[in-house]
A and B are shown apart, each in its own frame.
Chain A
Amino acid sequence: DAGVIQSPRHEVTEMGQEVTLRCKPISGHNSLFWYRQTMMRGLELLIYFNNNVPIDDSGMPEDRFSAKMPNASFSTLKIQPSEPRDSAVYFCASSLEAGATIYGYTFGSGTRLTVV
């Protein structure tokens, strides 16, 4: 199993540009999560998908952020326009959601975003 695959690993972009982060979850997992990690705020849950449907997007900071999951094997997180305060490491994670709480998440290696 290749695990959760994120791309790119690093992204440097100028303020105002559009940024798209990509994630491929583990095959068979039906839950997908996007997290943001910063020194100041730690790990923040941005959005949660179950069976490709967004269930909870209360953590999305503002309208500049959007996420999609067009199928079970792919998700994107888009920031448009990007701002320097969006600089962070963005993690994608996936999980089984078989109605039980015993499953943890499997995280990708993250995308380090720097907005200059």
Chain B
Amino acid sequence: GDSVTQMEGPVTLSEEAFLTINCTYTATGYPSLFWYVQYPGEGLQLLLKATKADDKGSNKGFEATYRKETTSFHLEKGSVQVSDSAVYFCALRANDYKLSFGAGTTVTVRA
């Protein structure tokens, strides 16, 4: 079935460091790919998405490129801030209604 595997955390970084969170997927057909972010005590918010191969999603300084050849959708940010501390979820939506989530990666940014 459709599934997403993302790197395990927790990840701890210093402010202004480079962040990468790896995400790979298994799916039939042509899924859309998403990154969601969950700040402490809040619900999940859509961070960015890409709906076809080679698309790049971007938002708030975060980027991810849909790589069909490597079945990946890695999240990157060039210079993180303390306010980026959150849990990040990779997700895919393939041929039906279901959004399949990864396990989540906890990111902590220290001042």
Contact = CB atoms under 8 A, between A and B. Distances in A.
Interface of A: 4, 31, 33, 42-43, 45, 48, 50, 55-56, 91, 93, 95, 97, 101-110
Residue from A55, A97, A103, A106 with most neighbouring chain B CB atoms (10 Å) = A103
A104 B93 contact: yes
B109 interface: no
Nearest to B104: A42
A interface secondary structure, majority: strand
B66 to A, nearest CB: 12
Contacts of B99: 33, 95, 104-105
A43 B46 contact: no
B97 A55 contact: yes
B89 interface: yes
A106 B46 contact: yes
B34 interface: yes
Interface stretch (B14-22, B37-45, B77-85): B37-45
